[in-house]
Amino acid sequence: MSLTSFPAGGPSAGLAPAANPFTKVTVPALAEMKRLGKRICALTAYDYATSRLVDEAGVDLILVGDSLAMVVLGHENTLAVTVDEMLHHTRAVRRAVKRALVVADMPFGSYHGSLAEGVANAVRFVKEAGAEAVKIEGPRVELVRALTDAQIPVIGHLGLTPQSVHQMGGYRVQGRTAEAVAMLKEQAQALAEAGAGAVVLEGVPRETAAAITAELAVPTIGIGAGPDCDGQILVLHDMLSMTFAPAARFVRRYADVGGVIRAAVEQYRDDVEHRAFPNDEESYHLPKAAKRELEAVKRDLQAGDRQRLVRPA
């Protein structure tokens, strides 16, 4: 049986995920996509409506990224978001998504203590929010092994790891020397051997990502890592222009949704101010009989008023 088919089979069982809208994407399917040379298309999403649209558009993997701390909650970096907040958003995404693999990002602090604590928090994402895999940042090989032993699929994240912003001294491109490339390769290899189903490579030179991708058995998913990774991921709000800072070099703006929202809301405000919204067709109306009754009552009241004016008490 193909790794990408529904257990029950079905009319579309056996086709690769991207060619088959009915096939649920799983972590093993990602490896199969790498083997078939099929690009993995991933995006972040954080709520029901956008996840549903992203899923229906055929994206293979939806990451409930801790980037939501910045693009949804308005924090300065990703460090503040909590497990409970991430669970809340993961549940909403889970309710929307039928086909894509739903991956929950473990937030800063939720896996930085003991292995047991990391596993316990990951279990919450699977059990309480329906995540199908979790993502952790950094070369945490022992934790990847422990999660794999606990039957929790895990995706690694190397290179520019935003949760290490203070340690890195800012958001800096990583893996820029031969030594750093060798280290990243070793780390990616160790994560894969420990059971990681894929590795996100963020903010590394194209050549670094290509070298890692060529040697790794599991797929790499790049963001700011050039075109040679097995897949690509972007932050949804970046690619839709729903952010408020200049975009990084690697972001392609596919639509100006921010501009569309702004223009629509300005038009609405204008219509409300000028009584152009709502119009009669956008209003509910009384049934004819009730309307006649209301008019009769109004006529009686007016007649009463006239009589009082003619014969004051």
Of 85, 202, 273, 281, which is the active-site residue?
A: 202
Q: Which is nearer to ligand KIV, 67 or 174 (CB)?
A: 67
Q: Which is nearer to ligand KIV, 17 or 224 (CB)?
A: 224
Q: Nearest approach, Cβ of 149 to ligand KIV (angstroms)?
A: 24
Q: Which is nearer to ligand KIV, 66 or 132 (CB)?
A: 66
233 forms part of the interface with ligand KIV (CB under 6 A): yes
225 forms part of the interface with ligand KIV (CB under 6 A): no
Question: How far is Cα 282 from Cα 290, in angstroms, rounded to an integer?
Answer: 19
Rg (CA), the chain: 27
Total of chain residues touching ligand KIV, rule CB under 6 A: 11
200 forms part of the interface with ligand KIV (CB under 6 A): yes
Binding residue for ligand KIV (CB under 6 A) from 65, 203, 219, 231? 65
67 forms part of the interface with ligand KIV (CB under 6 A): yes
CB 225 within 8 A of CB 209: yes
202 is catalytic: yes
Burial of residue 263 (CB within 10 Å: 0-12, 13-18, 19+) is exposed
Question: How far is Cα 166 from Cα 282, in angstroms, rounded to an integer?
Answer: 53
Question: How far is Cα 140 from Cα 138, in angstroms, rounded to an integer?
Answer: 6
Q: Which is nearer to ligand KIV, 22 or 91 (CB)?
A: 91
Site for ligand KIV in 98-127 (CB under 6 A): 105
CB 27 within 8 A of CB 47: no
Q: Which is nearer to ligand KIV, 249 or 274 (CB)?
A: 249
Residue 92 CA: distances (Å) to CA of 46, 57, 61, 63, 251: 7, 18, 15, 12, 26
Whether omega for the bond prior to residue 278 falls within 30 degrees of 0, making it cis, is: yes
Binding residue for ligand KIV (CB under 6 A) from 158, 194, 235, 239? 235
Question: How far is Cα 136 from Cα 143, in angstroms, rounded to an integer?
Answer: 9
The catalytic residues are 202
Residues that bind ligand KIV (CB under 6 A): 44, 63, 65-67, 105, 200, 202, 223, 233, 235
